[in-house]
């Protein structure tokens, strides 16, 4: 079973959709935010965007986690920004196939969501940098965040043909 990565900018709904999709597939849900080292979390909390050097060990950890889950025969759904092609390549290293699902939405809609999201270390002030870094994927299932979370999960299931 190929791992599934729910990707997109912060605040697009990756965790909500990913957890619901994992439940429907009887899969393990992983949130990439849980794998950040403390230094990365603190950097983001203070409003400083991460650079590629900050992300490299984190991406390697995500890749290792997906490979280990695959080796154990577990299906995994990972919620991860994966904004750039090279990040997606790092996550997918040594995996035969990864199903990518891109949650697509406008800056305005996501900024509004972020303003109402409690207790998250990623401040709205970093959202612009996320959109600037985003390299829209060519090989992903694209789902609009204008749909409800339930509709997004149904769209993902339909596109994955599971």
- Greatest alpha-carbon pair distance for the chain in Å reads 41
**pLDDT in the model for residue 123:** 56
CB distance 77 to 118 below 8 Å: no
Q: Is residue 120 pLDDT above 70, yes or no?
A: no
Q: Is residue 72 pLDDT above 80, yes or no?
A: yes
Q: Is residue 119 pLDDT above 90, yes or no?
A: no
**pLDDT in the model for residue 45:** 80
pLDDT tier at 48, thresholds 50, 70, 90: confident
**pLDDT in the model for residue 97:** 95
Nearest to 32 by CA among 94, 90, 109: 90
At residue 157, what are phi and psi to the nearest 5 degrees? Answer: -60, -40
Question: Top-level CATH class of 4-160?
Answer: alpha beta
CB distance 135 to 34 below 8 Å: no
* Six-digit token string for 73: 């025969």
Average pLDDT over residues 141-146: 97
pLDDT tens track for 79-108:
999 999 999 999 999 999 999 999 999 989
Neighbours of 110 (CB within 10 A): 22
Every domain of the chain and the residues it spans: 4-160
pLDDT tier at 41, thresholds 50, 70, 90: confident
CA–CA gap between residue 17 and residue 23 (Å, rounded): 10
């Amino acid at each position: 079973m190929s791992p599934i990565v729910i990707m997109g900018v912060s605040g697009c709904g990756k965790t909500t959709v990913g957890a619901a999709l994992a439940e429907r597939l009887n899969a393990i849900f992983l949130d990439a935010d849980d794998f950040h080292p403390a230094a990365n979390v603190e950097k983001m909390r203070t409003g400083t965007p991460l650079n590629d050097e900050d992300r490299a060990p984190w991406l390697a950890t995500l890749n290792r986690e997906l490979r280990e889950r695959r080796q154990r025969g577990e299906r995994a759904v990972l919620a991860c920004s994966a904004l750039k092609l090279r990040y997606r390549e790092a996550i997918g290293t040594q995996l035969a196939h990864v199903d990518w699902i891109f949650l697509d939405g406008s800056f305005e809609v996501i900024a509004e969501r972020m303003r109402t999201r409690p207790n998250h270390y990623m401040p709205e002030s970093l959202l612009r940098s996320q959109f600037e870094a985003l390299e829209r994927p060519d090989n992903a299932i694209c789902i609009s965040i204008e749909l409800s979370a339930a509709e997004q999960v149904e769209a993902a299931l339909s596109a994955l043909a599971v």
